[in-house]
């Protein structure tokens, strides 16, 4: 089986074929996410973690507890960032923001919108 994977900003740019390890085929979508983050060079180097991404096929989310069989050979699997701090990147690595940092960010953005 091989899958097409494509990521969306702010994740590292990836558009490639992915072949799951035949010795360790994922059992669930969460296993697939972990495998992608571990084996795709751009995700690994970018510090992308499975808990920070969601996978979609035909604009429908693949839930973590779904069996791996939910994807079929040749499917286009879209990888998008989710969770707190989305869009806050430092050196291409997703960073979690604490609530005071988020409030400060909104204040700065609000001030910039008045310029």
- CATH number of the CATH domain containing 32: 3.10.20.90
Which residue's structure tokens are 């779904």? 66
Q: How many domains does the chain have?
A: 1
How far apart are the C-alpha atoms of 112 and 89, rounded to whole Å? 19
pLDDT classification of 102: cutoffs 50, 70, 90: very low
Q: What is the pLDDT of residue 105?
A: 45
Q: What is the pLDDT of residue 83?
A: 75
Beta bridge partners of 7: 79
Q: How far is CA 84 from CA 16, 53, 97, 111, in A?
A: 27, 11, 7, 22
Tokens of 90: 């430092």
The answer to which of 12-21, 47-56, 61-70, 81-90 has the lowest mean pLDDT is: 81-90
Indicate yes or no: pTM above 0.85.
Answer: no
pLDDT digits (tens, 9 = 90+) for 6-24: 999 999 999 999 999 888 8
Q: How far is CA 62 from CA 30, 33, 53, 100, 112, in A?
A: 9, 10, 11, 32, 37
For residue 15, what are the domain limits? 3-113
């Amino acid at each position: 089986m091989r899958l097409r994977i494509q990521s969306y900003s702010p994740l590292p740019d990836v558009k490639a074929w992915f072949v799951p390890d035949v010795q360790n085929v994922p059992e669930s979508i969460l296993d697939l996410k972990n495998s992608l983050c571990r084996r795709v060079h751009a995700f690994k180097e970018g510090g992308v973690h499975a808990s920070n991404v969601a996978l979609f096929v035909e604009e429908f989310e693949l839930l973590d507890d779904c069996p791996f069989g939910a994807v079929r050979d040749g499917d286009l699997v879209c990888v998008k960032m989710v969770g707190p701090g989305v869009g806050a990147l430092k050196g291409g690595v997703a960073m979690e923001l604490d609530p005071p940092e988020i409030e400060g960010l909104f204040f700065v953005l609000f001030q910039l919108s008045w310029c």
